[in-house]
C-alpha cells in the first residue's frame, strides 16, 4: 500500500519544516517499516488526517483494530507517549505498546476517527469536551519530561514580538497578550499535566468511553491554559454572529465555572493563545485565519 501523506499534513508541515528536513520524503518508507515490524494489516490512511502526523488505520496480528501514528521529532512524539502512558487510558486514547516510539511511531487503540465531539450541538460539545479535560488534569509524575507553560509561551512570545515588529497593526494586541502572560505567570496556581492543544476536534468517540482525547502536545501548568483553546472553538461561527463578542464572554464564564478555574485567568490565556495563533498564521501566509483569530482576540 502507498503511504502518501494527505495534503493537509503536507501543507501544515511545510509551514514549519526547518531547512533540509526530509521527514515527509522518508515517510512512506518509515510507515512500511513500522507496519512490518509490528506485523500489522493496513486498512487505510486517515484523510484528511492531522496537521502534524500520519494516521493509519490498522489491525494487529490478532485482528485488534488499532491506529498507527507517525510524527516527526519536532512534533514531540516521545512527550505524547509519556503523557498517554501516565493517563493510562483515563480520558485519553490508550497506548497499545510501551517503550519509546521507534521512528516517532505510536500504536494506539482505535477510536471512531470520523466522529469528534464537534459533531454535537455547540452547548453539548463544550460540556462533553470539558468533562474529558476534567479527567486529564492530573498531577504530573515526579521528574516528568514535559515542557512547562512558562517555557512554551516564552518561545512563542519571542516570535510574537518579531511578528509585531514586522506588522505594526498587530502591535497593540501583541502588547496586550504579552502583558497578560507576564501577569499570569507572576502568581500561577498549582501545576497539572495538560493536553496542551485541546479542542473539540481532538475529542473522538470511543467504545470503552463515549469520548476520549487524542493528539496531546503535553505541557505542565495551570488548567486555564488548556481550557483557553477550547474557548475559541468554531471561531469562524463566532465571528459570523452579530452577538459573537457576547457569546464569547458567556463561553468564558460557563467554561470557567464548569472546571472551577478563574475567569480572569481563562480570559488572559485565551487572549494570549489567540494572538499567538493569529501572528503565527499571518507569518506563514494564512491571512484569513489570522484575521479571524485577531478579531476574536480583540473581543477579549
pLDDT tens digits for range 186-234: 999 989 999 999 999 999 999 999 999 999 999 999 999 999 999 999 9
- Cα separation, 185 vs 1, in Å, equals 49
Q: Which domain holds residue 61?
A: 7-110
Is there a single domain that holds both residue 121 and residue 106? no
Please indicate, yes or no, whether residues 84 and 139 belong to a single structural domain of this protein.
Answer: no
Three-state SS letters, 127-187: HHHHHHHHHHCECCCCCCCCEEHHHHHHHHHHHHHHHHHHCHHHHHHHHHHHHHHHHHHHC
- pTM of this prediction? 0.93
Q: Tell me the sheet residues that pair with 211.
A: 205
Q: Confirm if 209 and 129 have CB atoms less than 8 A apart.
A: no
Same domain, residue pair 105 and 125: no
Residue 166 CA, chain-centre distance (Å), reads 27
How many domains is the chain partitioned into structurally?
Answer: 2
User: How high is the mean pLDDT of the chain?
Assistant: 92
Q: Count of residues for the chain?
A: 300
Out of 69, 94, 110, a domain closes at 110
Domain identity same for 226 and 252: yes
- Can you give the pLDDT at residue 100? 61
215 in Cβ contact with 197 (< 8 Å): yes
- Stretches in the chain below the pLDDT threshold 70: 1-2, 99-102
Residues contacting residue 112 through CB under 8 Å, at least 6 positions apart: 204, 205, 206
Q: Distances from the Cα of 278 to the Cαs of 159, 174, 283, 289, 291, in angstroms?
A: 11, 10, 9, 7, 7
User: Residue 223 domain-assigned?
Assistant: yes
CA separation for the pair 79, 194 (Å, rounded): 12
- Same-domain check for residues 94 and 186: no
The reply to whether 86 and 121 lie within a common domain is no
- Element (DSSP H or E) covering residue 38: helix 23-38
Q: What is the CATH number of the domain that holds 41?
A: 3.30.200.20
User: Pairing between strand 65-70 and 147-148?
Assistant: unpaired
Quick one: 164 and 35 in the same domain? no
Looking at 83, 110, 137, the residue that finishes a domain is: 110
Final residue belonging to a domain, choices 40, 75, 110: 110
- For 247-276, write each residue's pLDDT tens digit: 999 999 999 999 999 999 999 999 999 999
Residues 227 and 265 in one domain: yes
CA 162 – CA 196 distance, rounded (Å): 23
Tally of CB atoms within 10 A around 88: 11
Amino acid at each position: 500500500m502507498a503511504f502518501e501523506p494527505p495534503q493537509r499534513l503536507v501543507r501544515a508541515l511545510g509551514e514549519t519544516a526547518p531547512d533540509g528536513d526530509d521527514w515527509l520524503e522518508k515517510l512512506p518508507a518509515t510507515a512500511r517499516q513500522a507496519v512490518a515490524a509490528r506485523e500489522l494489516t493496513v486498512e487505510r490512511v486517515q484523510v484528511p488526517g492531522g496537521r502534524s502526523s500520519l494516521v493509519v488505520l490498522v489491525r494487529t496480528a490478532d485482528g485488534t483494530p488499532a491506529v498507527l501514528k507517525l510524527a516527526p521529532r519536532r512534533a514531540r512524539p516521545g512527550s505524547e507517549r509519556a503523557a498517554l502512558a501516565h493517563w493510562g487510558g483515563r480520558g485519553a486514547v490508550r497506548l497499545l505498546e510501551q517503550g519509546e516510539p521507534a521512528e516517532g511511531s505510536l500504536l494506539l487503540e482505535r477510536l471512531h476517527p470520523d466522529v469528534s465531539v464537534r459533531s454535537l450541538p455547540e452547548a453539548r460539545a463544550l460540556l462533553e469536551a470539558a468533562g474529558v479535560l476534567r479527567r486529564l488534569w492530573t498531577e504530573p509524575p515526579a521528574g516528568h519530561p514535559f515542557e512547562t507553560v512558562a517555557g512554551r509561551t516564552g518561545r512563542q512570545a519571542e516570535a510574537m514580538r518579531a511578528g509585531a515588529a514586522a506588522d505594526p497593526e498587530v502591535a497593540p494586541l501583541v502588547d496586550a497578550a504579552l502583558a497578560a502572560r507576564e501577569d499570569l505567570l507572576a502568581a500561577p496556581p498549582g501545576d497539572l499535566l495538560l493536553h496542551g492543544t485541546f479542542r473539540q476536534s481532538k475529542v473522538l468517540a470511543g467504545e470503552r468511553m463515549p469520548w476520549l482525547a487524542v493528539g496531546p502536545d503535553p505541557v505542565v501548568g495551570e488548567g486555564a491554559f488548556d481550557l483557553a483553546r477550547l474557548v475559541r472553538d468554531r471561531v469562524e461561527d463566532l465571528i459570523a454572529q452579530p452577538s459573537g463578542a457576547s457569546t464569547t464572554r458567556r463561553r468564558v464564564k460557563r467554561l470557567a465555572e464548569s472546571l472551577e478555574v478563574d475567569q480572569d485567568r481563562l480570559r488572559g490565556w485565551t487572549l494570549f493563545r489567540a494572538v499567538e495563533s493569529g501572528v503565527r498564521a499571518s507569518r506563514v501566509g494564512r491571512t484569513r485565519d489570522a484575521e479571524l483569530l485577531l478579531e476574536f482576540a480583540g473581543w477579549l
